[in-house]
Chain A
Amino acid sequence: MSSSYLALNHVSARHDRNEDPTLHNISVDVEAGEVIGVLGSSGSGKTTLLRVIAGLHNASEGSIILDGVDITTTPTHLRGVGLMFQEHALFPHLNVSDNVAFGLRMAKVPKPERSIRVVEVLELVGLTDFGTRDVASLSGGERQRVALARTLAPSPRLLLLDEPMGSLDRVLRDHLVSELRELIVDLGLTALYVTHDRSEAFALADRIAVLDEGAVVQFDTPGVLDASPATEHVSRLLGHR
């Protein structure tokens, strides 16, 4: 247990935004390089869980350990986690390159290195030559890739993805999910991927945590989950009737 890369120990979160439910006593251990799917219906607390890990929402109890360091009270900007939102949240006043370079600038990476890294990351997500484009001119899929590039550029210690495919259509999604999985594995990143979509979670995750009303009801590999769902709710969420 102490060897895990990311550990949530009995984390709870109090009611804050009215629409978010409370998190109850969540304990999860994630190994380095693992891709974890966080599966739950809307209102199950999965977004709050990501926000707590990112430091955008305070945990009322429990602790969060990342790579051996307790980060429970560390401010967001010092946590070094990459967070990608469903609606991508690209900075509208910056072009593609400047969006991608943002995290590098905050980390005071010198300009020549920064430019090299931006080109590198844009190439990684398949957007070579998009650097000078205005973000408003991008398609949904392109925006998604820019958001990913921006998150990857400063080499985060942990990748948090909040329904990153949420606003894309089905065909594009299936294609991107497998691409994303490859990318994460190639880069050796540890990632938490929040989704309400069973097939996305199964295609992407090494292990899946199922959330219901703010609590983890099952945390297993897709195979085990499929074979023996712990509760009625899990089996319904997986599409078994």
Chain B
Amino acid sequence: MAAAPPLLFLAVFFAWPVVAIILRGLRPDGAWDLAAFGEVVADSTIRRVLWFTIWESIASTVLCLLFALPGAALFARYRFPGKKLLWSALLVPFVLPTVVVAVSLLGIIGSGGLSGVNLSGTVWAILIAHVFFNYAVVVRTVGSTWSTIDPRLEESARALGARPWRVFAEVTWPLIRSSVAAASSIVFLFSFTSFGIVLILGGISHRTLEVEIYDQTAKFLQLDVAAVLALLQLLVVVIILLWFGRSQRRRSVLFDQRSATETEQPAGTPRQKWFIRSNLMFIALLFGTPLMVLVVRSFSTPEGWGFGFYRALTDSRGGSTSFVPPVDAIGNSLMFASIATAIALVLGLCAAWAIVGDGSAHSDTRFSRWTDTALMIPLGTSAVTVGFGFLIVFDEPPLNLRSSLWLIPIAHAVVALPFVVRLLAPALRSIDPRLREAAATLGASPRRVWLSVEVPIVGRALAAAAGFAFAISLGEFGATAFLIRPDRPTMPIAIYRALGRPGEYNFGQAMAMSTILMLLTVVVMLVIDRFRPAGVSEF
């Protein structure tokens, strides 16, 4: 019954808030009433927001595929110095806090930015940020499938008279198509539920459903309208997930997989060299520039180079009593992240055990598959939905946690749990039952078997999962924005507040705080990479 704690947790902290949102949207006054829903949907402003959210997500997905598919080919087919390191480093932008990325991009394409072009407030800023976040999703998902395709299939096609683009269209594409669909649906979902990026970079004219939900809640106190919007958003997410599930079943082609080292080759022709170089330059431009500019500008104060912006973080200027020195946010963030990690790990371990069972064939029951799916649902829903749901459920009896600090780490744990399970379950599954039997016949007691077989194998995955959960919690912005108490900001919240205040010193502080948050995240990711179990990297 290891499944009970995680399922109970999700029932209370995920399903209940979602049900509450649905009821609030469809039964505003205690009776089923679709009028309110219809009114909101018919509203021209809301329609514009919905339309923008959809097309912005499609544009982000297309743009991302355009840039990242060549990147996937690069990692799948070529050998070049630093490949392994770069492959792991690509994960860093994916887990960087949205707020940090937004601030970094402002340093280049914001007003007074390095490029001299001010794109902040335009849809371009949003699209660039979405490519930044999702490039690695496409490259890693598609690239790892691509790398297992035997190059001799493509060579056979060439020998049979297929010109290069036909080789791609007739052989490569059909084999990578399902992984491209998988990556695209993830990119679409992430772009559709993008919150921090749009809030900071989109200005007043470009707003997604998420931002609208936040505004309706926090600015206009229109919880009923927000509920309808959250409902709309859930609907789209569910449709995408269903479509994705169906297309996966229909499209996937099984083929003999090669190991990636067998299929890669160094660049031979000048064209291949040019291909590798231009891809690497794109990666450097996309990731290197904004992050470097962020760090450099955080040290460049109006008084010259120095730690001015960093020292200002300890300042309790502002005069008002509610102002907290930003440096306190670091402590808050670390505390919330520790609690969230602990919750996610305990529940994730229970869940992984329940899904995998004892490794015997009959443990793959319908129940375990159902648990597996149930645990993945929060992955698709947005952090804003979680935050908003918490807000309307836990501010009244029977569970009034509104003023409690617990809501934040719990919300972070809900967001992190699917990732933790996805890392732990494959590790548990990879333990060959014969290993335990072998250890037992070699004279190991059950306790020794556990210590000498299970712990070393799962231990690594557990460390990696802990790192992931910690990084996710550190950077979480969407849910936190709804639940934060003014006196206990997290780092992303403090950065967002600093951005909201005018003046160079506040922007400087945002950059200094972003630099610290980025370094924390990078350190955590480096630790993960040391512990990452070989061969099971689903993210």
- A91, B152: Cβ atoms under 8 Å? no
Q: Nearest-CB distance from B83 to chain A (Å)?
A: 15
- B152, A58: Cβ atoms under 8 Å? no
The 8 Å CB contact of B159, one of A58, A82, A91, A107, is: A82
Per the bound structure, the CA–CA distance linking A80 and B160 in Å amounts to 7
- In the complex, whether B156 has a CB less than 8 A from a CB of chain A is yes
Using known A-B contacts A17-B265, A89-B152, determine if residue A154 contacts B171 with beta carbons closer than 8 Å: no
Contacts of A160 in B (CB 8 A): 159
- In the complex, whether A202 has a CB less than 8 A from a CB of chain B is no
- In the complex, whether A81 has a CB less than 8 A from a CB of chain B is yes
Per the bound structure, the CA–CA distance linking A110 and B268 in Å amounts to 36
- B152, A87: Cβ atoms under 8 Å? yes
How many pairs of residues, A versus B, come closer than 8 Å at their CB atoms? 81
Residues 112-169 (chain B) with a chain A CB within 8 angstroms = 150, 152-153, 155-164, 166-167
The 8 Å CB contact of A85, one of B152, B160, B162, is: B152
Contacts of B153 in A (CB 8 A): 89, 91-92
Using known A-B contacts A16-B266, A58-B269, A89-B153, determine if residue A77 contacts B253 with beta carbons closer than 8 Å: no
- B256, A92: Cβ atoms under 8 Å? yes
- B269, A87: Cβ atoms under 8 Å? no
Using known A-B contacts A16-B268, A102-B160, A106-B161, determine if residue A89 contacts B253 with beta carbons closer than 8 Å: no
Contacts of A107 in B (CB 8 A): 161
The 8 Å CB contact of B161, one of A16, A56, A89, A154, is: A154
Among B153, B174, B268: residue with most chain A CB under 10 A: B153
The 8 Å CB contact of A136, one of B157, B170, B254, is: B254
Residues 159-217 (chain B) with a chain A CB within 8 angstroms = 159-164, 166-167, 170-171, 174-175
Q: Mark A93-110, 1 if CB is under 8 A from B, else 0.
A: 100000000110011000
Contacts of B156 in A (CB 8 A): 83, 85, 89, 91, 150
- A93, B174: Cβ atoms under 8 Å? yes
Q: Nearest-CB distance from B264 to chain A (Å)?
A: 10
- In the complex, whether A235 has a CB less than 8 A from a CB of chain B is no
- In the complex, whether A54 has a CB less than 8 A from a CB of chain B is yes
The 8 Å CB contact of A102, one of B155, B157, B163, B164, is: B157
Chain A residue nearest to B150 (CB atoms) is A89
Q: Size band of the B side of the interface?
A: 20 to 34
Contacts of A81 in B (CB 8 A): 159
Contacts of B253 in A (CB 8 A): 92-93
Contacts of A89 in B (CB 8 A): 150, 152-153, 155-156
Per the bound structure, the CA–CA distance linking A241 and B255 in Å amounts to 43
Among A76, A83, A136: residue with most chain B CB under 10 A: A76
- B255, A76: Cβ atoms under 8 Å? no
- A76, B150: Cβ atoms under 8 Å? no
The 8 Å CB contact of A87, one of B150, B159, B175, is: B150
Q: Size band of the A side of the interface?
A: 20 to 34
Q: Nearest-CB distance from A151 to chain B (Å)?
A: 8
Residues 70-84 (chain A) with a chain B CB within 8 angstroms = 75-83
Contacts of A103 in B (CB 8 A): 160-161
Q: Mark A178-200, 1 if CB is under 8 A from B, else 0.
A: 00000000000000000000000
- B160, A154: Cβ atoms under 8 Å? yes
Per the bound structure, the CA–CA distance linking A215 and B332 in Å amounts to 70
Among B150, B156, B174: residue with most chain A CB under 10 A: B156
- B160, A106: Cβ atoms under 8 Å? yes
- B266, A77: Cβ atoms under 8 Å? no
Per the bound structure, the CA–CA distance linking A79 and B160 in Å amounts to 9
- B155, A83: Cβ atoms under 8 Å? yes
Contacts of A106 in B (CB 8 A): 157, 160-162, 166
Using known A-B contacts A56-B158, A89-B152, A91-B153, determine if residue A77 contacts B163 with beta carbons closer than 8 Å: yes
Contacts of B266 in A (CB 8 A): 16-17
Per the bound structure, the CA–CA distance linking A82 and B160 in Å amounts to 7
Per the bound structure, the CA–CA distance linking A150 and B171 in Å amounts to 15
Residues 140-160 (chain A) with a chain B CB within 8 angstroms = 150-151, 154, 160
- A83, B159: Cβ atoms under 8 Å? yes
Per the bound structure, the CA–CA distance linking A160 and B152 in Å amounts to 14
Among B159, B175, B268: residue with most chain A CB under 10 A: B159
Contacts of A85 in B (CB 8 A): 152, 155-156
Can you list 23 A-B contacts with CB-CB less than 8 angstroms, sorted by A residue number? A54-B159, A55-B158, A56-B158, A58-B268, A58-B269, A76-B155, A76-B158, A77-B158, A77-B159, A77-B161, A77-B163, A77-B166, A80-B161, A82-B160, A83-B156, A87-B256, A89-B152, A89-B156, A92-B253, A93-B174, A93-B253, A103-B160, A154-B161
Q: Which 9 A-B pairs have the closest CB atoms?
A: A103-B160, A92-B255, A106-B161, A83-B159, A76-B158, A89-B152, A93-B174, A93-B253, A89-B156
B interface residue numbers (CB < 8 A to A): 150, 152-153, 155-164, 166-167, 170-171, 174-175, 253-256, 265-266, 268-269
